[in-house]
Structure 1
Amino acid sequence: MFSLLLLFAYLHSTEAVIGSDLNCTTYNGTSFVYSPTATICSNVISDSSCAVLYPATATVTAGTDNARPLTCYTTASATPASIVQDMKTAAIADCPATCGYCCETAAYDCANVAYPRLDCSTITSAQCLSATWRTIIAEDCPSACGLCGSNGCVDAVVDCANDPSICTTVGMQDFVNTYCQLTCDRCASSTTASSSGTCTSYAADSSTACADWAANGFCTNTFYTTAQRMEYCATTCKLC
């Protein structure tokens, strides 16, 4: 019991460095430090404005235990420094990076899968943008890269949205099916809903050749994606 009390006293003393709000922190065996997702996002308003609103003696940085600006979560008159939820909510909404609250924004505040294919806690910003890892991260560790709410549907290549015409470019379909699923509407969730067979009406065909294409297997050949059929021949292929 005595050793537990000592441990509690020690942990309580380490809280004083960062402050009484330990959200977006992790214990490294010595002290509480900011987690990688504490400052991974951008401020909503300008960094200079955030610096004025939330003055700090040292910058909040992942891996450090620098004190969080007091005005991020409490008032100077609060003794001890208790969390004032309205102040914290405002900080999360406007200056999450300055206050070390990125992990509590909507893009980062969600659960990862129980048994991810990689260690969510070690994911780097480079992996978040990597075509090799991005799709896996979106499915298994969305909170590590600000992909909460994506339902696993992302572009593995983040530049896909810069040129949407790639979605219908002949010879690029294998590429977009793998790397541009969000931009080109090739995610499994969207195609499942489109082909559920519960349609009561259909979007108009955009091509006058749909009857001929259907006769040649356009509506059934798996070489063509559901998104492509929807774009050109929704009525003929009975997709909604």
Structure 2
Amino acid sequence: MIFVSLTIFFSFINMVSAEIFGDYNCTYFVNFATTDVFRYSPSAVSCPNLISDAACAVLYPPVGNPPIPDQYANRPLQCYTTGTGKTAPIVEDMKRVAVATCPKSCGYCCLTPEYKCSNVAYPRLNCATITQAQCNSLSWRTIIAQDCPNSCGFCNMGGCVDAIMDCANDVSICNVVGMQDFVNQYCQKTCARCPSTTAASALAAAVAASSCTTYAADSSPSCAAWAKNGFCTNMSYTLAQRKSFCARICRIC
């Protein structure tokens, strides 16, 4: 009798968790020959919980599997409703709390501010299939930030990220003359080298140069050689850097 009861119980759990229902946020639709189902998108669980995973497991215990990309186990009902079953009403206050505390456990990462924005109309890659590995990739991060910001939580970045995530650990690298090609490519966010930033620097340099009457002394004995190699006009270096090293020879106030 106990065995029969347990069998029925686990069959009920599997039935409940076998599909996503009630709240379809952060999912995509799949049409099979025999049935239609919703599956979690990668952005459903691509963020961390804001409180500990252990606490989230207590607050939002999964039924069967937790939310997983491309899978369809229903999210914990506690994430969005006080009811049970497919007709349970969505309680927006419960959902807001879940997004603010345990978005990963509830499959709500796409609703957090870092993920809640639009991608460009014609991205260079398929935003819907971006993986966490690509979000952290040296090759893909800057492209994703520009084209698919909501896939990796880049919505608050203004299209500008560091290709190498630990650039901010040592911001002094931004001012090392011999490292400029490196930081221009890999540390754009930390060193303010995104296209819009360098364009603004170019404009500021042009305005400053046109109004100069006197110049500070050059701090480097190599300025003459650097100037011949284009240091004064190369927008890969910020105005502050050029002024710091070669204000006189570059004619920067």
2:100 maps to what in 1? 93
Q: Taking structure 1 as reference, are residues 230 and 153 closer, same or farther at Cα in structure 2, changes over 3 Å only?
A: farther
**TM-aligned CA deviation for residue 184 of structure 1:** 1.1
**TM-aligned CA deviation for residue 210 of structure 1:** 6.5
2:241 maps to what in 1? 229
Q: Which moved more, 1:62-71 or 1:110-119?
A: 62-71
Identify the match of residue 181 of structure 1 among 188, 194, 217: 188
2:19 maps to what in 1? 17
Instruction: Read off the aligned partner of 2:38 and give its amino acid letter.
Output: F
Identify the match of residue 156 of structure 1 among 163, 183, 186: 163
2:47 maps to what in 1? 41
Question: Larger C-alpha radius of gyration, 1 or 2?
Answer: 2
Following the alignment from structure 2 to structure 1, what is the Cα–Cα distance between the partners of residues 154 and 53? 23
What does residue range 50-129 of structure 1 map to in structure 2 within 5 Å? 50-58=56-64, 59-76=66-83, 80-129=87-136
Instruction: Read off the aligned partner of 2:193 and give its amino acid letter.
Output: R
Instruction: Read off the aligned partner of 2:46 and give its amino acid letter.
Output: I
Following the alignment from structure 1 to structure 2, what is the Cα–Cα distance between the partners of residues 224 and 16? 54
Listed as ranges, the gaps of 5+ residues in structure 1 are 1-13, 200-206
SS at match of 1:31: strand
Q: Taking structure 1 as reference, are residues 53 and 231 closer, same or farther at Cα in structure 2, changes over 3 Å only?
A: farther
Following the alignment from structure 1 to structure 2, what is the Cα–Cα distance between the partners of residues 231 and 135? 29
Cα RMSD between the aligned structures? 3.2
Aligned pair count reads 217
What does residue range 136-215 of structure 1 map to in structure 2 within 5 Å? 136-197=143-204, 209=218
Q: Taking structure 1 as reference, are residues 230 and 93 closer, same or farther at Cα in structure 2, changes over 3 Å only?
A: farther
Tell me, yes or no, if the aligned pair for 2:173 and 2:179 is still in contact at 8 Å.
yes
Following the alignment from structure 1 to structure 2, what is the Cα–Cα distance between the partners of residues 91 and 231? 50
**TM-aligned CA deviation for residue 237 of structure 1:** 3.4
Tell me, yes or no, if the aligned pair for 1:15 and 1:32 is still in contact at 8 Å.
no
1:32 maps to what in 2? 38
State the identity %.
50
**TM-aligned CA deviation for residue 121 of structure 1:** 1.2
**TM-aligned CA deviation for residue 193 of structure 1:** 3.5
Q: Which moved more, 1:97-106 or 1:57-66?
A: 57-66
2:141 maps to what in 1? 134
TM-score by length of 2: 0.74
Q: Taking structure 1 as reference, are residues 122 and 231 closer, same or farther at Cα in structure 2, changes over 3 Å only?
A: farther
Following the alignment from structure 1 to structure 2, what is the Cα–Cα distance between the partners of residues 127 and 181? 18
TM-score by length of 1: 0.78
**TM-aligned CA deviation for residue 52 of structure 1:** 1.2
